[in-house]
Amino acid sequence: MYEYLDIVLLASVLGLIIVAMESRNLRNSTLLLCGAFIILGAFYGLLGATYVMLLQLLIYGGATTALLIALIYITRGEFEE
């Protein structure tokens, strides 16, 4: 049952990253990258690398995303047209 799950997870990460790069809104881009980091952490969990999964979820899924959102709101970096 899990033979195609890794392909689906990696395709969804790639799709989220492409949409995040093409998005004009910085907040939406940051949240899309957060989703990609969380799915990548789930992929590491599927591979059996639990410590890497926990580090991925805590550092990239949580701390880095919170830092990027705070930077966007502090600098008022809205580039919408």
Burial of 33 (0-12, 13-18, 19+ CB in 10 A): buried
Tell me the two tokens of residue 56.
């991925």
- Global pTM? 0.82
pLDDT at 69 over 60: yes
pLDDT per position as a tens digit, 21-48: 999 888 889 899 999 999 999 999 999 9
Tell me the two tokens of residue 5.
């799950």
Q: Please report, for the chain, the start and end positions of each structural domain, with discontinuous segments joined by +.
A: 5-75
pLDDT per position as a tens digit, 4-28: 998 999 999 999 999 999 998 888 8
pLDDT computed for residue 49 by the predictor:
92
How far is it, in rounded angstroms, from Cα 6 to Cα 77?
35
